[in-house]
């Protein structure tokens, strides 16, 4: 699955049946509702539906091959898990070869139970790693606020929900107004996150890159790291 990192428009490549390619992507997107481990690869392949080439079809077939070898993998929700809400947020700076836009990835847990996952190309080109990470944190923050409201309807209240980020500059930007003077281009997003930090809704917490679970939604990983994060998402063999 790591070969998807080299995907581009492949304008010189041989075109394939667009209807076939779209039907394959549609099937895989449906499956991502229960298999978050394929979300990044599927979303990357889905970007080439307008004019698919043989190289794109080959990448999609690799995803199907991976699924064929892991048919019993599924999300496990343990009965005795804790009930604390926490999230991970990450971005792959300029990782998309076609237009150099970054990819945001987030995931949310209730205790050890994965309840939400997300991978999406950002709408604009980020000029720095800090901006890419901060945009991802902003999307994560909005989802956390929505999730807090949904859980409040069931009588559960959460304060200072940790958003785990592996970029110290993005964390400082959310806490320190001095940084804001150098980043006017993300003015609104700055105030949005800072407002919720001051209200006690969220807090930005540093996590080492090797423990950043959201990496699995933003970039291709080596086999060992992929397997590690896949396990931390709660995916395991279910007979």
Query: What is the per-residue pLDDT across 199-219, written as a single tens digit (0 to 9) for each?
Result: 999 999 999 999 999 999 999
For residues 17 and 13, give the distance between their C-alpha atoms in angstroms, rounded to a whole number: 13
Give the pLDDT mean for 162-188.
73
Give the pLDDT mean for 26-49.
94
Residue 160 scores a pLDDT above 50? yes
Residue 15 scores a pLDDT above 60? yes
Higher-confidence residue: 94 or 55?
55
What pLDDT is recorded for position 3? 47
CA nearest neighbour of 106 among 161, 64, 154, 169 = 161
For 150, half-sphere exposure in the C-beta direction (CA atoms, 13 angstrom radius) is 10
Confidence label for 5 from pLDDT (cuts 50, 70 and 90): low
Task: Write the class of the CATH domain 85-232.
Answer: alpha beta
Bridge-partner residues for 164, per DSSP? 88, 205
Mean pLDDT score across all residues of the chain: 88
**Which strand ranges, in their side-by-side order, compose the sheet holding 202-206?**
113-121, 103-110, 85-92, 161-165, 202-206
Q: Are 101 and 221 in contact (CB under 8 A)?
A: no
Tokens at residue 202, please?
A: 């969220």
Residue 4 scores a pLDDT above 90? no
What pLDDT is recorded for position 129? 86
Higher-confidence residue: 25 or 188?
25
Residue 2 scores a pLDDT above 70? no
Bridge-partner residues for 118, per DSSP? 106
Per-domain residue ranges of the chain:
18-71, 85-232
CA 167 vs CA 48, 118, 149, 212: distances in Å: 30, 19, 27, 10
Three-state secondary structure string covering the chain: CHHHHHCCCCCCCCECCHHHHHHHHHHHHHHCCCCHHHHHHHHHHHCCCCCCEHHHHHHHHHHHHHHHHCCCEEECCCCCCCCCEEEEEEEECCCCCCCCCCEEEEEEEECCEEEEEEEEECCCCCCCHHHHHHHHHHHHHHHHHHHHHHHHCCCCCCCCEEEEECCHHHHHHHHCHHHHCCCHHHHHHHHHHHHHHHHCCEEEEECCHHHCHHHHHCCCCCHHHHHHHHHHCCEEECC
Q: Are 105 and 90 in contact (CB under 8 A)?
A: yes
């Amino acid at each position: 699955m790591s070969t998807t990192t080299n995907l581009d428009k492949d304008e010189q490549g041989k075109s394939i049946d667009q209807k076939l390619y779209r039907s394959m992507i549609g099937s895989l997107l449906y499956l991502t509702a229960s298999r978050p481990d394929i979300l990044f690869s599927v979303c990357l392949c889905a970007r080439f539906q307008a004019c698919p080439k043989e190289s794109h079809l080959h990448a999609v077939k690799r995803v199907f091959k991976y699924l064929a070898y892991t048919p019993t993998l599924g999300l496990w929700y343990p009965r005795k898990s804790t009930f604390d809400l926490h999230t991970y947020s990450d971005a792959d700076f300029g990782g998309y070869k076609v237009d150099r836009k970054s990819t945001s990835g987030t995931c949310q847990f209730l205790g050890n139970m994965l309840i939400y996952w997300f991978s999406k190309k950002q709408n604009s080109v980020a000029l720095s790693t800090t901006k890419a990470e901060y945009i991802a944190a902003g999307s994560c923050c909005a989802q956390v606020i929505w999730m807090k409201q949904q859980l409040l309807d069931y009588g559960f209240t959460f304060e200072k929900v940790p958003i785990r980020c592996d970029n110290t500059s993005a964390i400082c930007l959310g806490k320190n107004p001095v940084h804001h003077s150098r980043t006017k281009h993300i003015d609104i997003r700055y105030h949005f996150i800072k407002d919720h930090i001051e209200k006690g809704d969220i807090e930005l917490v540093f996590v080492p890159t090797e423990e950043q679970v959201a990496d699995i939604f933003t970039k291709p990983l080596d086999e060992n790291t992929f397997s590690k994060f896949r396990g931390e998402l709660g995916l395991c063999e279910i007979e």
